[in-house]
Amino acid sequence: MSVSNGLVGSLSLSLNTLQIPLFKPAIIQYKSFTDDTIITAILQNLLAFMDTINPSSSSSSTHQWKYHVFLSFRGEDTRNNFTDHIYAALNQKGVYTFRDDEKLERGEPISPMLLKAIEDSLFAIVVLSKNYASSTWCLDELVKIMDCRKNMGLIVLPIFYDVEPTVVREQTKTYAQAFVEHEKHFNKNLKKVHTWRAALTDVSNLSGWSLEDG
């Protein structure tokens, strides 16, 4: 697949091919996420995986992809450091990346524009940080991402940013604290809370990177 700025193009993609796991072992761990070599490694793996996608693959589904990557993250945790760095690195390599640059009001519902951007992306990089689960916006975003993975072949690559995958999977520590508040606030819509929990469990079981503050 040729990577360039602008529209990714109309690609006929095999959903089975898109869901092949990228990494072995499932989680690649790094001890110092301040080192630029980590972002370089992530970028190299992403570009290598993109090159394995054959646009001529036979499939019953053809989709007009607008972005190579949708970047999901908790702004207060990562916007001014890790997320900025990886966003810049992706764009420098011609990887057309969508990220939301607006400051979100607490409790504001996710916008239709963001939902459409997820649908129009080939990859989603989900930066799961300590406070990711405290944002209902991020959780709604993640539910949409995992739905697109299941139904549209979106390739989801999680990055566990100074948070252990087991914390995300089991919703312990800061994630447990976040869900105490969610269950209070959404006590009349616990189905929504259960959907968020399921999305976190599912994404934590995917291959990705674990970055620890060393």
Of residues 105, 141, 181, 212, which has the active-site annotation? 141
- Which CATH fold would you assign to the domain 9-99+107-211? Rossmann fold (3.40.50)
Answer whether residue 168 shows pLDDT above 70.
yes
Q: Is the CA virtual torsion 5, 89, 155, 198 positive or negative?
A: negative
Note the pLDDT of residue 108.
Answer: 61
Note the pLDDT of residue 82.
Answer: 83
Q: Is the CA virtual torsion 180, 127, 68, 26 positive or negative?
A: negative
Note the pLDDT of residue 211.
Answer: 82
Of the ranges 8-17, 39-48, 196-205, the best mean pLDDT one: 196-205
Q: At what angle do helices 136-152 and 190-204 cross, to 10 degrees?
A: 60
Mean pLDDT of all residues in 15-40 = 51
Lowest mean pLDDT segment, chosen from 8-22, 41-55, 126-140: 8-22
Answer whether residue 197 shows pLDDT above 50.
yes
Q: Is the pTM of this model over 0.75?
A: yes
Lowest mean pLDDT segment, chosen from 3-12, 28-37, 64-73: 3-12
Top pLDDT among 29 and 178 is at 178
For residue range 50-91, list pLDDT tens digits in order: 777 654 443 434 567 899 999 999 988 886 688 888 899 998
212: annotated active-site residue: no
193-196, long-range: CB < 8 A, 24+ apart: 195/143, 196/133, 196/136, 196/139, 196/140, 196/142, 196/143
Note the pLDDT of residue 58.
Answer: 36
101: left (phi over 0), alpha (psi -120 to 50) or beta: alpha
Answer whether residue 204 shows pLDDT above 60.
yes
For residue range 98-107, list pLDDT tens digits in order: 987 655 444 5
The CA-CA-CA angle for residues 154, 183, 192, to 5°, reads 35
Top pLDDT among 180 and 42 is at 180
Instruction: For residue 48, give the amino acid letter.
Output: A
The CA-CA-CA angle for residues 73, 150, 7, to 5°, reads 65
User: Domains of the chain: which residue ranges?
Assistant: 9-99+107-211
For residue range 177-193, list pLDDT tens digits in order: 999 999 999 998 999 99
Omega of the bond leading into 25 within 30 degrees of 0 (cis): yes
Top pLDDT among 201 and 9 is at 201
